[in-house]
């Protein structure tokens, strides 16, 4: 599986902010040493952004005004966010993994989604943009430790998408406590661990009619790793097992980085996930 990456995203940082470029810098260096090949993305068109977001929101990100304490603005934020969306779109096209930032699954059509207090480091919903562009029957599997409230808001009732999220509660953004129409939420307690997590994932996947799915997009947040920001006490081996379960479905898959705040863990967890996806 090719890794979609651009060093341009390393310029996107705010002093003292937890959403730092250091996490993907470290991860990319480790993965390069492991022998992964990297592919450079292009920014998406504004037309692609408008498949998901309102004109007002796209224009606001262009202006780079202040958004909130978690998700600040800058004069270049549109370029970084647009490039990250481009990484997701390329990953979907080549069935690769986008290791770009900023992340996206908290961004709704008009910014903040489902009443969340902040944007949670997200500007454009990278996964949603890729899925809307593909226009295929898609299962989005969100394994970030936080609920993807933006992705759910965008796709609730959308006939071509099934959304599954396994996430920590209580935790930001405080959504995803129940399922709705085509969006299936599995809130999990602190200290969940690999065994209960995988049991829950099996249950979630069993409820989906895979004959109706053409492609799977993994919103891969690695902040559910032991000791990370939304820890569910998962090990790297759990991500390999997640990959195996997705591989066994026999459906094409791509992935997009969401959370994960230790570069070393991101590299290890992503490597294990890809091993599970690729090995028979």
Q: Rounded to an integer, what distance in angstroms lies between the CA atom of residue 225 and that of residue 54?
A: 34
- Going by C-alpha positions, the residue among 219, 198, 248, 100 that lies closest to residue 154 is 219
* Nearby residues of 232 by Cβ (< 8 Å), 6 or more positions away: 145, 166, 168, 188, 190, 191, 192, 193, 197, 224
Known active-site residue 272: no
Using an 8 Å Cβ cutoff, are 118 and 71 in contact? yes
Q: How far is CA 257 from the centre of its chain?
A: 5
Q: How far is CA 21 from the centre of its chain?
A: 16
Q: Which of 53, 105, 106, 271 is catalytic?
A: 106
Q: Which residue has the tokens 């810098």?
A: 25
Report the first-to-last Cα separation within the chain, whole angstroms: 14
* Nearby residues of 48 by Cβ (< 8 Å), 6 or more positions away: 85, 89, 129, 132, 133
Residue 75: how many CA atoms within 13 Å on its side-chain side? 0
Q: Angle at the Cα of 31 (from 243 to 264), degrees rounded to 5?
A: 85
DSSP structure class, residue 180? B
Q: What residues act catalytically? A: 106
């Amino acid at each position: 599986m090719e890794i979609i990456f651009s060093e341009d995203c390393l310029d996107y940082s705010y002093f003292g902010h937890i959403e730092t470029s250091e996490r993907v810098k470290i991860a990319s260096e480790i993965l390069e040493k492991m022998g992964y090949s990297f592919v450079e993305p292009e920014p998406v068109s504004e037309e692609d952004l408008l498949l998901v977001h309102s004109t007002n929101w796209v224009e606001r990100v262009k202006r780079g005004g202040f958004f909130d304490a978690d998700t600040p603005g800058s004069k270049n934020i549109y370029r970084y966010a647009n490039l990250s969306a481009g990484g997701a779109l390329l990953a979907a096209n080549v069935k690769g993994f986008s290791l770009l930032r900023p992340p996206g699954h908290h961004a709704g059509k008009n910014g903040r989604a489902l009443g969340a207090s902040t944007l949670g480091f997200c500007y454009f919903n990278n996964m949603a943009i890729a899925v809307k562009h593909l226009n295929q029957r898609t299962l989005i599997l969100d394994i970030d430790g936080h609920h993807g409230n933006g992705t759910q808001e965008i796709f609730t009732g959308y006939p071509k998408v099934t959304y599954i999220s396994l996430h920590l509660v209580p935790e930001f953004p405080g959504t995803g406590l129940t399922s709705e129409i085509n969006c299936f939420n599995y809130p999990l307690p602190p200290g969940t661990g690999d065994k209960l997590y995988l049991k829950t994932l099996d249950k979630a996947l069993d409820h989906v009619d895979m004959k109706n799915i053409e492609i799977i997009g993994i919103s891969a947040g690695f902040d559910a790793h032991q000791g990370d920001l939304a820890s569910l006490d998962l090990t790297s081996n759990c991500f390999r097992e997640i990959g195996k379960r997705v591989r066994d479905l026999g459906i094409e898959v791509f992935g997009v980085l969401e959370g994960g705040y230790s570069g070393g863990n991101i590299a290890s967890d992503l490597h294990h996930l890809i091993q599970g996806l690729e090995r028979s």
